[in-house]
Chain A
Amino acid sequence: RKEVEQDPGPFNVPEGATVAFNCTYSNSASQSFFWYRQDCRKEPKLLMSVYSSGNEDGRFTAQLNRASQYISLLIRDSKLSDSATYLCVVTLYQGGKLIFGQGTELSVKP
């Protein structure tokens, strides 16, 4: 079993749609959680950190459920510019290993 698993893609949605991505992690010692965004095989860039209480940044909302070892990302009012691959990332409490999920591709259509 992979340490971090994401919903298979691709997701094809119209502009203005709401889309949700899910991610599960296998190691209960995982400490920190992030969503990264990657455009066209360019370098990944941080989209947002995920906090235990949940957090929001504009149209983006991230949730963490430690009991179920589950992370989610919700994108509201999708824009064409949101088209990218979204990567779920987990770090362990000790050791600093930064583990990526395989990514979920999003394509927003006009």
Chain B
Amino acid sequence: NAGVTQTPKFRVLKTGQSMTLLCAQDMNHEYMYWYRQDPGMGLRLIHYSVGEGTTAKGEVPDGYNVSRLKKQNFLLGLESAAPSQTSVYFCASSFAGNTEAFFGQGTRLTVV
């Protein structure tokens, strides 16, 4: 029972490089989320999706893009990485907007 799986777990990027983080869930959840967590800042919502083919901006969307082409996958893209995007990224999913969210184990991204 995998739940929510994030890949990769760790990554080091050079400034200006691009990458995509993949989040996959096997619980048939409608809602999916991408957060970043920085020391003292808690989890801040980057983008979220309320169903296949939909996406919406969260609190800190600048510099990121997302896609939800399949219900089970939610991709987070960084087109041109900046050192300010060094963070731990968490993906989550939930059955509905007001139900328990299940998180992946996180991706530790460093941009140098």
Q: Report A's interface with B, CB cutoff 8 A.
A: 31-32, 34, 41-46, 49, 87, 89, 91-92, 95-103
Contacts and interface: CB of A to CB of B under 8 A. Distances in A.
B42 A100 contact: yes
Give the 7 A-B CB pairs with smallest separation, nearest first.
A96-B97, A102-B42, A32-B98, A43-B103, A100-B43, A46-B100, A103-B42
A98 B101 contact: yes
A32 B5 CA distance: 25
B12 interface: no
Q: Chain A binding site: helix, strand, loop or mixed by DSSP?
A: strand
Given A44-B43, A103-B42, A98 B105 contact: no
B48 A102 contact: no
Interface residues of B, number: 29
19 contacts: A32-B97, A41-B88, A42-B105, A43-B104, A44-B90, A45-B103, A46-B101, A49-B100, A91-B97, A95-B97, A96-B48, A98-B33, A98-B92, A98-B101, A99-B59, A100-B35, A100-B42, A100-B43, A102-B42
Q: Chain B binding site: helix, strand, loop or mixed by DSSP?
A: strand
B77 to A, nearest CB: 20
A44 B103 contact: yes
A91 B97 CA distance: 7
B50 interface: yes
